[in-house]
Structure 1
Amino acid sequence: MKLTTQKGMVIWMLGLSGAGKSTLSDLLETQFQTENIFSIQLDGDQLRKGLNKNLGFSMEDRAENIRRAAETAGIMAAKGIVVICSFITPLNVHREIAREILGELYFEVFIDCPLTVCQERDVKGLYKLAGNNTLKNFTGISSAFEKPENPDLVLLTESQTPQQCCDHLYAAVSSRITQLQFS
């Protein structure tokens, strides 16, 4: 049984730590609430504290982290929920896992921000730890990040405000939700 009459989808926001994924996720969820769109956030940090706490940061564990997140998001989207995902998702092969699981429900958003700006923001202090070799396998420093090959949307958080980015994101997602309603 569906929870709502709306069509679900998965907005998969990816990018480096500090790029603005969580900020945009919060803003988008607030906008959805204003528009009475039923949504939920899945954040990489939250899932690693619970569902995925047994996973490390090897490439195999990163792939499993994304697989579990995509499976969870897919279950919710099938019930009519718009799921806002915030995961670094460092490699194209990881994105392909999510895309394969979610199919037409998957909407990929690259939160594009230069590494130097992410390092300046460093709200969690992770870049400093990675730079001191205290934190191993950190994406962008000691572990690879591949720019996505063909995202549905690219948001430039260095040159646009969070609200401007959210406005672009909301417009693109609203169009996609409308397409799904009539498919």
Structure 2
Amino acid sequence: MTTLWFTGLPGAGKTTLARALQDSVKPRHLIILDGDELRASISADLGFSPEDRSEQARRVAALARLLNNQGVSVAVCLVSPSSTDREMARQVVGTGFVEVFVDAPLEVVEERDPKGLYAKARRGELKGLTGLDAPYEAPVAPEVHLRSAETSLQECVQELLKVLGSGSF
């Protein structure tokens, strides 16, 4: 089984891509573990400090591994700004981990701003937003590098399917 670990700035398109991929692989099984949804449930006790972000990544990686061991492929959608945390996730998940860098420039994600995070941060109402006043360490050698500002959603999904091959799910 496979764990696709989608990483990128807030608003880059991680969850949108995962949902489109999920739609294209049906009836095969792909579970999406979305960072926002997980923060409302299994990680409701965590904030956005570097330590809490590391713990969030650890918990999600452990959950992904459990699902993989049960025969379920997983798409994890987390900003996961630290390369160290993504490497830890790779070690926890083990075989089948695929890092997917959803790459979009800051000006594009600010323009998209689906949750209004960048607008709040620019007004001083939000501190520690990844890409503005909190660092994001872009992956150096991800298995998949998708440029969501330049490539259509369907082309990105096709790239994921091509990389994964028909037997990965």
Q: Same fold (TM over 0.5)?
A: yes
**Does structure 1 residue 127 correspond to structure 2 residue 118?**
yes
CA–CA separation in structure 1 for the residues paired with 2:43 and 2:164? 28
Aligned residues: 169
Point out where structure 1 has 5 or more consecutive residues left out of the alignment: 1-7, 179-183
Shift of 1:130: 1.0
TM, length-normalised to structure 1? 0.89
Describe the SS at the equivalent of 1:19: coil
Q: Distance in 2 between matches of 1:40 and 1:111?
A: 18
- 2:10 is paired with a residue whose SS is coil
After superposition, where does 1:40-79 map in structure 2 within 5 Å? Answer: 40-79=31-70
Residue in 1 that maps onto 2:101: 110
Specify the alignment match of 1:5 in structure 2. Answer: none
Instruction: Deviation per CA, 1:55-103: give whole Å up to 9, x if none.
Output: 0000000000000000001000111111011000101011011011012
Q: CA RMSD in A?
A: 1.2
TM superposition shift of 1:132: 1.4
Which one of 149, 173, 177 corresponds to residue 164 of structure 2? Answer: 173
1:16 corresponds to which of 2, 6, 9: 9
Q: Higher helix proportion, which one?
A: 1
- Structure number with greater Rg is 1
1:174 to partner: Cα distance = 2.1
- Normalising by structure 2, we get a TM-score of 0.96
Match of 1:88 among 79, 86, 102: 79
Alignment gaps of 5+ in structure 2: none
Name the CA shift for 1:116/1:65 in 2 (closer, same or farther; >3 Å).
Answer: same
Cα deviation 1:37-56 (Å, max 9, x = unaligned)? 21110000000000001000
Letter in 2 for 1:166: V
Task: Using the TM superposition, name which of 127-136 and 66-75 deviates more.
Answer: 127-136
Aligned to 2:6, the other structure's residue is in SS state strand
